[in-house]
Structure 1
Amino acid sequence: MDIEALRSFIAFVDTGSFTRAAKQTFRTQSAISMQMKKLEEDAGQTLFQKNGRYLVLTEQGRLLVSYARRILAMHDEVLGELASHRQHQPIRIGCPDDYAQSILPQFVTLLMQSLPQSSIRIQCDCSTQLRLMLDNGDIDLAILTRSPEKEEGYLLKHDKGVWVHGGFPELIEADELPLVMYEADCKFHSTAIDGLEKQSRRYRLLCATSSATAIKSLLKEGIGISAMARSSVSEGLHKIDEKAQLPALPAVDIVLAVAPIPHPLIGVSMVADLCAKFREINH
């Protein structure tokens, strides 16, 4: 089977979209379709089927996923080993600002233990923008938030959203709940607003930002309350008890996604190993 076709196949599995798979692999959608047709011919099996408007994997397609990941892991490992004696560009890591304190430092420590001679470059942005950067080949790795039912990336940590205040619990009783939130594409933002609407609870969105530092600073000044991942709650912030009857916030997975064309020093095998070590440390 063709390595690049398998890479496109896994890009579709991870993103759930031929459009994003095409962007990530720098191909047209028609080229991706031809690759998938050839892959089905090589496998002698139907790998995709229609489910409403969408294409999903057949049982044979799901079986191929684990083999494809292993084939790519071995391929990338060999190239990485051969490339380890050459000079390379810095490893480019994308990370949402809210995980820059809680997740990023520990992951970078593990990465530098595996690749002590490497240098890194870090780009902080929201998960949506980081996905676009992965698609465009602007970063090599990205720490992202995904819904638990998705298959994107390699699991770093299971997490859950919590409501928090910065030392001003009286804000919870305000007639108009003051909110300081992450941007609208944040899962906690959309769930919180939707939940308050369903409760007919009055609220005012005072601030929306992608900066965790800004949110935490505003909370500590008593500007409002917020919703964030439990792992992002730092010193000076306080979780709001469920007795406050604020809307329930969703569980999420924090994952590490890899560019379809990985950095020469980081194959998917190394990524899987790094994520397993991260989970073990944080068990």
Structure 2
Amino acid sequence: MDIDSLRSFLAFVETGSFTRAAKQTHRTQSAISMQMKKLEEELGKILFTKEGRHLVLSHEGQQLASYAKRIVGLHDETINAIRTETAYPALHLGCPDDYAESILPVVIGLIRESLGRINIQVTCASSLLLRQGLDKGELHLAILTRSPNLEEGYLLKTDEGVWIGSKQHVLLEHRPLPIALFQSDCKFHSAALTGLMKNQIPYDLVSCSSSASAQKGMVRHGLAIGAMARSSLSEDLYELDETWLPPLPAIHIVLVPAITSHPALSDNAIKKISESFQNNANK
């Protein structure tokens, strides 16, 4: 059915008059009459009956009125949604796996708040690989870990590494001490191993992974203790506070744009996202 004809039909329903319907739809009365005739022909039903000198809706006309309102409403909603959708290409965002549950959702929320309903494609990998993705133009933006003495990107959060364990498994007395770490490009990896060696604590490096889920799984199943950012800690795991465990470094979690960033992401926009993240974290 023609949408314009349905609009004219609904104008009659609202006004009870072809004359007023014609004025509201900016058509002639004869044009309205032709539209109604085509609707009747298409449906094979009479939509109007006479009551005295007035036209009123037939039973089938009343049925159509209910459907027409929904059809026209959905049509207008669809047109409005598509027309107002930002015509930007997809934004490719990188994030280390250990920030995927805590940092990533907040950042995506702030991006959509700033840019509207933009399509965001997320790649989870280590900070090293994400930096390579930025350099190759494969990513527009990445959540990364940096040292506190560097100025890379826009600060989201200051954090520090902690040792983690499972509440169901006690491994701290085991020698060698079983540990699960992120891969060697992670700042906690070298700090953990160097610290254990300096403290003359024998260790067994059970696994290395770029996945926080993998490391947490090793800890949950009692195969090792782990080392990760405090903000990545899950409720079912806990922070180990034994003083003989070597301290892990402080880190900055930052938002880093590619040199050729997304067309919708100006430096000012990224700065505002960074500031909003910090403001939300301080509430």
Query: How far 1:131 sits from its partner (Å)?
Result: 0.5
The 3-state SS of whatever aligns with 1:175 is: coil
8 Å CA contact retained: 1:179, 1:206? yes
Write out per-residue CA displacement over residues 32-54 of structure 1, whole angstroms, 9 at most, x where no aligned residue. xxxxxxxxxxxxxxxxxxxxxxx
8 Å CA contact retained: 1:167, 1:222? no
Return the alpha-carbon distance in structure 1 between the equivalents of residues 175 and 222 of structure 2.
16
8 Å CA contact retained: 2:86, 2:117? no
1:263: which partner in 2? 262
Q: Which ranges of structure 2 fall in alignment gaps of 5 or more residues?
A: 1-83
The 3-state SS of whatever aligns with 2:276 is: helix
Does 2:274 correspond to 1:272?
no
1:167: which partner in 2? 167
Query: How far 1:169 sits from its partner (Å)?
Result: 5.4
Query: How far 1:170 sits from its partner (Å)?
Result: 2.3
Return the alpha-carbon distance in structure 2 between the equivalents of residues 203 and 242 of structure 1.
16
Does 2:211 correspond to 1:211?
yes
8 Å CA contact retained: 1:183, 1:189? yes
Write out per-residue CA displacement over residues 170-216 of structure 1, whole angstroms, 9 at most, x where no aligned residue. 20111210011111110001100011111111000000001111111
The code of the aligned residue for 1:233 comes to: L
Return the alpha-carbon distance in structure 1 between the equivalents of residues 189 and 85 of structure 2.
46
Greater gyration radius: 2
Does 2:251 correspond to 1:252?
yes
1:36: which partner in 2? none
Return the alpha-carbon distance in structure 2 between the equivalents of residues 91 and 195 of structure 1.
40
The code of the aligned residue for 2:265 comes to: I
Give the fraction of aligned pairs with identical amino acids, expressed as a percent: 44
2:125: which partner in 1? 125
1:135: which partner in 2? 135
Number of residue pairs aligned between Structure 1 and Structure 2: 199
The code of the aligned residue for 2:202 comes to: R
2:199: which partner in 1? 199
Q: TM-score, normalised by structure 1?
A: 0.68
Query: How far 1:89 sits from its partner (Å)?
Result: 1.6
Query: How far 1:116 sits from its partner (Å)?
Result: 1.6
Query: How far 1:168 sits from its partner (Å)?
Result: 4.4
Does 2:233 correspond to 1:233?
yes
2:111: which partner in 1? 111
Return the alpha-carbon distance in structure 2 between the equivalents of residues 253 and 242 of structure 1.
24
Structure 1 residues 260 and 85: CA distance shift in structure 2, 3 A: farther
Write out per-residue CA displacement over residues 115-147 of structure 1, whole angstroms, 9 at most, x where no aligned residue. 123110000000000001101110000000000
The 3-state SS of whatever aligns with 2:218 is: helix
8 Å CA contact retained: 2:91, 2:119? yes
1:73: which partner in 2? none
8 Å CA contact retained: 2:169, 2:222? no
Query: How far 1:234 sits from its partner (Å)?
Result: 1.0
8 Å CA contact retained: 1:166, 1:236? yes
8 Å CA contact retained: 1:161, 1:229? yes
Query: How far 1:85 sits from its partner (Å)?
Result: 8.5
Q: Which ranges of structure 1 fall in alignment gaps of 5 or more residues?
A: 1-83
* RMSD between aligned residues: 1.4
The 3-state SS of whatever aligns with 2:172 is: helix
Runs of 4+ that moved beyond 4 A: none
The code of the aligned residue for 2:121 comes to: R
Return the alpha-carbon distance in structure 2 between the equivalents of residues 235 and 155 of structure 1.
25
Structure 1 residues 249 and 86: CA distance shift in structure 2, 3 A: closer
